[in-house]
Amino acid sequence: MAGNSYGTLFRITTFGESHGDALGGIIDGCPPGITIDLEAIQFEMSRRKPGQSAIVTQRKEPDDVQFLSGIFEGKTTGTPIGFIIPNTNQKSDDYSHIKDNYRPSHADYVYEKKYGVRDYRGGGRSSARETASRVVAGAVAKQMLPEIKINAYVSSVGPIFLDKSYQELDFSKTENNPVRCPDEEAAVIMEEYIRDIRKQGDTVGGTVTCVIQNVPIGLGEPVFDKLHAELGKAMLSINAVKGFEFGSGFDGAKMKGSEHNDLYNIDGTTKTNLSGGIQGGISNGMDIYFRVAFKPVATIMQKQELLDNKGNITEMTGKGRHDPCVVPRAVPIVEAMAAIVLADFYLINKTY
């Protein structure tokens, strides 16, 4: 109940800190007979892993996933899929600078207050390294739902926004640049900006947009477990996320009903899609799209105040290899969490 599981029928439970021997997880509820492409899973891992480009953290972690159960002769058997991702890059660091200190806008302080104890060698469970396990589960979920297409991409970096709707984009280009923005021009500007920010020893936030296509009608439950409510929770559970909106989102709150209503075509599709593919919490077959806001990474390479556990304010300059901007590596995590949510609702929908 410490909240390390997600989903009801397709259910992922994760474990692991950044500085133990391994992290990993268990995927329960995956139906039998799903063909598993291990290379495709490892590809998703490589999209999330540190050190993949010049604009992300330069830590080197291969993030190789080892499956221990649940797959036999290339297919799922219906039994739980256990996996581990060894931690290969645990340097015997000197942690004295964080052991007794609470870094601003990190979870150090609340962890110590809540648990009375803290594995000070890293961020513990609040480390973004935990999301590696989510990417594994998401990759399995994607293979369970091959007809559904999930494409996330970076839609803003700091003040730089991609001013195109998703319909104008070619998702096949997302992986062509380290920012993961499918618009080449915008990507160049964003990358430039991130390089600048890094030189300043600073960090910057951004947004990720996710588009889900080819979703069957009927996924989602009408009251508390609305499809967009669960997508929202899934996204907000990713490190550094500050906001979620789908369809017309916050802009929709400015509109009139006569502008906002999506009129029907005779085949049940709609002429507009301000609803974002979801009506009353249930997918209506139109594209689902949403936007996720990420704050700037808290660890900066500038001198900053911090609080020690004796109640003194001290100063520290961030050390280590951190991301100047989190959104390029967040793209596969957003897709993974979306896939997990859809896989769960897909199974629930089979019970009607």
Q: Scanning residues 186 to 225, which ones bind a copy of itself (CB under 8 A)? A: 197, 202-207, 217-218, 221-225
Angle 214-216-220 from CA coordinates, rounded to 5°: 120
Of 97, 99, 101, 100, residue with least CA distance to 306: 101
Give me the least distance between CB of 53 and a copy of itself, in Å please: 20
Closest CB to a copy of itself among 110 and 176?
A: 110
Tokens of 257: 């009903």
Question: What are the φ and ψ backbone dihedral angles of 247, each rounded to 5 degrees?
Answer: 55, -135
For residue 31, say whether it is annotated as part of any ligand binding site.
Answer: no
Cβ pair 166, 293 in contact under 8 A: no
Q: Is 324 annotated as a binding residue?
A: no
The H or E element spanning position 292 is: strand 288-294
d(CA 54, CA 34): 36
- Beta bridge partner(s), residue 206: 157, 294
Task: With CA atoms as reference, report the closest residue to 36 among 8, 78, 97, 1.
Answer: 78
Q: Is the distance from CB of 209 to CB of 166 less than 8 angstroms?
A: yes
* Cα separation, 102 vs 306, whole angstroms: 6
Is 198 annotated to bind ligand?
no
* 255 contributes a contact to a copy of itself by CB under 8 A: yes
Tell me how far, at minimum, the Cβ of 55 lies from a copy of itself, in Å.
15
- Is 11 among the annotated ligand-binding positions? no
Binding mask 56-95 for a copy of itself (x = CB under 8 A): ----------x-xxx-x--x-xxxxxx-x-----------
Binding mask 127-166 for a copy of itself (x = CB under 8 A): ---x-------------------------x-xx-------
Q: Is 141 annotated as a binding residue?
A: no
Residue 334 found at the interface with a copy of itself (CB under 8 A): no
Binding to a copy of itself by residue 100, rule CB under 8 A?
Answer: no
Assess 257 for contact with a copy of itself (CB under 8 A).
yes
Minimum distance between the CB of residue 172 and a copy of itself, rounded to whole angstroms?
Answer: 26
Amino acid letter, 327: V
Q: x-or-dash pattern for a copy of itself, window 33-52, by CB under 8 A?
A: x-------------------
Neighbours of 283 (CB within 10 A): 22
Is 261 annotated for ligand binding? Answer: no
User: What DSSP designation does 216 have?
Assistant: P
Token look-up 């806001």 returns: 293
Restricting to residues 270-329, name those near a copy of itself by CB under 8 A: 270, 274-276, 279-284, 293-300, 302, 304-307, 311-313
Q: Is 299 annotated as a binding residue?
A: yes
| Token pair in block for residue 83 | 């996996």
Binding window for a copy of itself (CB under 8 A); candidates: 35-43, 92-100, 174-182, 228-236: 228-236
DSSP 309: T
Q: Point out the annotated binding site.
A: 48, 125-127, 239-240, 280, 295-299, 321
Q: Point out the annotated binding site for FMN.
A: 125-127, 239-240, 280, 295-299, 321
Q: Point out the annotated binding site for NADP(+).
A: 48
